[in-house]
Structure 1
Amino acid sequence: MTVSKAPAPVSELVIAERPRPGVVVLTLNRPEKLNALSKELLGQLLDRLVEVEADQSVGCVVLTGAGRAFAAGADISDMLARGVASYADPERLSVWKGIEAFRKPLVAAVNGYAMGGGLELALLCDIIIASDAAKFATPEIRIGSFPGDGGTQRLPRLVGQSFAMQMVLTGMTVDAALAERKGLISEVVPPEALMARALGIAGEIAAMSVAVTPFAKHAVRAAADLPLKEGLEFEHRLTVEAFDTEDRVEGLRAFAEKRKPDFNGR
């Protein structure tokens, strides 16, 4: 017998599901507003991430959007109502920093529009997989603004200064194929294959040591901020720290014994 899933309550702006062991899918659930990033939605997203980070059974998170958008950007109605306070709100900025600080691997499954703040949210993810129907843009310049939640800093690190300038200064829309060529995203897949591919990658990551993958994530992310010499020193320090985990020892033993490691997340 097929049991239909009850619709989520209106107040549930971020839906959490566990489609397979070790993987949580978080879905931005404001489709009537193209998942615009209201303060309430961002707060619920951080709440879910905090829960996941504390759950040792979860090794990876997939972030996606309901409907035809990943996220279409900031909540313009809030900007009109509160002006600069809507951006400079300390609580909103603190929530954004909390999302940025999430330690476990985060895969974005971009199903549609990733515009403005929606693109900036995707840029906080570690791997971006996109449907070939996905669209990316920093359109803020068209309303007399520019990206203010990391877009001007993270985008050039991925696509280079020239193309980032073109995106930021014109507000141009970039399709998934061009985004892949420019290095903005990892892969492009047909819409019907998007979640399967994202879950496949997340499942592979979740099968690794939950204790060690945060070290690897931290090391790779540091490459964008540190000169090579300091980056190599930072990598070395993290590697030494990782040697203290039980999973690191188990991995070495499993290799020596020619068997699959049995990681316990410690």
Structure 2
Amino acid sequence: MNNRYELIEVSTQGSIGVVALNRPKVLNAINRPMVAEIVRAIEDFDRDDNVKVIVLSGNGRAFAAGADIDEMSNATAIELELLNQFTDWDRLAWVKKPIIGAVQGFALGGGFELALCCDILFAAHDAEFGFPEISLGVMPGAGGTQRLTKLMGKSKAMEWLLTGERMSAKEALHYGVINRVVSKELLQEETMKFANKIAKQAPLSLRLIKESVLKAVDYSIYEGMQYERKNFYLLFASKDQKEGMRAFQEKRKPNFEGE
């Protein structure tokens, strides 16, 4: 385990950087120090040329069963405004490499918001997602209302947010919140298998495709297509484009180097 971290475990498996939440006794309840460690680890992987894809998971029975309520219960509005804690969360949106999440057990409140920061989500059959903040007299504050609405539309997002009810993995798959449901026993194996498949692709293509897809969420179709076009042209300045097309012509597998 990397001794730079107390609340997460960080490791590298080949070209995959793995970040695992590691407060299993409290079902990986997320507090501010944990968020800071998660962001720092993911940003380090984003800068590491040997890492192609990042996997985010949780140790124990849950991915993350919410935020640490004890940390917030007595806070005042002014204290939270001055603390400006969600700027750490914002940095996750700046990460260029694909982030794949593996969710088992609960992903609730802040845990669900953290999962929604991933680009691809795999979930075990027993996974449950939800925003119970309404029952505490508050609401999501790290992007939950925004990201869930972008994924499933206004009406369904409103339903889950206003009731605080939990969403099964099957429902999350139906509404496009997650990508795949797998057995609990195979969750890590299937997630890593998919991560390794993605890691074999051209790194610059991965980077610019992710950028373009994220722009599509917020841009008009015209603006998004202009952005896509510039990224398409940009890739023709890369060695990997030449290698990829040459390999196709020569009927062999390409050797991408991220240049």
TM-score (norm 2): 0.95
Residue deviations 1:33-83 (CA, integer Å, cap 9, x gap):
221221110111111112101111111011001111111222211112433
Residue deviations 1:88-145 (CA, integer Å, cap 9, x gap):
3546222111122111000000011111111111111000000001000011011111
Deviation at 1:253, TM superposition (A): 1.2
Q: Which of residues 23, 27, 35 is equivalent to 2:20? A: 27
- For 1:260, give the aligned amino acid: K
Gaps of 5+ in 1: 1-6
- 1:226-241 aligned within 5 A: 226-241=219-234
C-alpha contact (below 8 Å) 1:110/1:130 kept by paired residues: yes
Distance in 2 between residues matched to 1:197 and 1:89, nearest whole Å: 42
Residue deviations 1:132-166 (CA, integer Å, cap 9, x gap):
01000011011111111111111011112111001
- Taking structure 1 as reference, are residues 11 and 124 closer, same or farther at Cα in structure 2, changes over 3 Å only? closer
Q: Which of residues 146, 149, 153 is equivalent to 2:142? A: 149
Partner of 1:69: 62
- Taking structure 1 as reference, are residues 10 and 221 closer, same or farther at Cα in structure 2, changes over 3 Å only? closer
Partner of 2:252: 259
Q: Which of residues 16, 23, 26 is equivalent to 2:10? A: 16
Distance in 2 between residues matched to 1:55 and 1:45, nearest whole Å: 15
- 1:1-266 aligned within 5 A: 12-19=6-13, 21-84=14-77, 87-88=80-81, 90=83, 92-266=85-259
- For 2:8, give the aligned amino acid: V
Residue deviations 1:228-264 (CA, integer Å, cap 9, x gap):
1111111101111222121122111111111111111
Aligned-CA RMSD value: 1.8
Length, aligned pairs only: 259
SS in 1 for 2:217: coil
Partner of 1:4: none
Deviation at 1:10, TM superposition (A): 11
SS in 2 for 1:258: coil
SS in 2 for 1:70: coil
SS in 1 for 2:195: helix
Deviates more, 1:187-196 or 1:88-97: 88-97
Residue deviations 1:199-227 (CA, integer Å, cap 9, x gap):
01100111112222110111111111011
- For 1:64, give the aligned amino acid: S
TM-score (norm 1): 0.92
Distance in 2 between residues matched to 1:71 and 1:85, nearest whole Å: 27
- Taking structure 1 as reference, are residues 148 and 91 closer, same or farther at Cα in structure 2, changes over 3 Å only? closer
Deviates more, 1:92-101 or 1:183-192: 92-101
C-alpha contact (below 8 Å) 2:2/2:10 kept by paired residues: no
C-alpha contact (below 8 Å) 2:2/2:11 kept by paired residues: no
Deviation at 1:16, TM superposition (A): 1.1
Identity score, percent: 38
SS in 2 for 1:82: coil
Distance in 2 between residues matched to 1:146 and 1:215, nearest whole Å: 33
Distance in 2 between residues matched to 1:145 and 1:94, nearest whole Å: 19
Deviates more, 1:88-97 or 1:192-201: 88-97
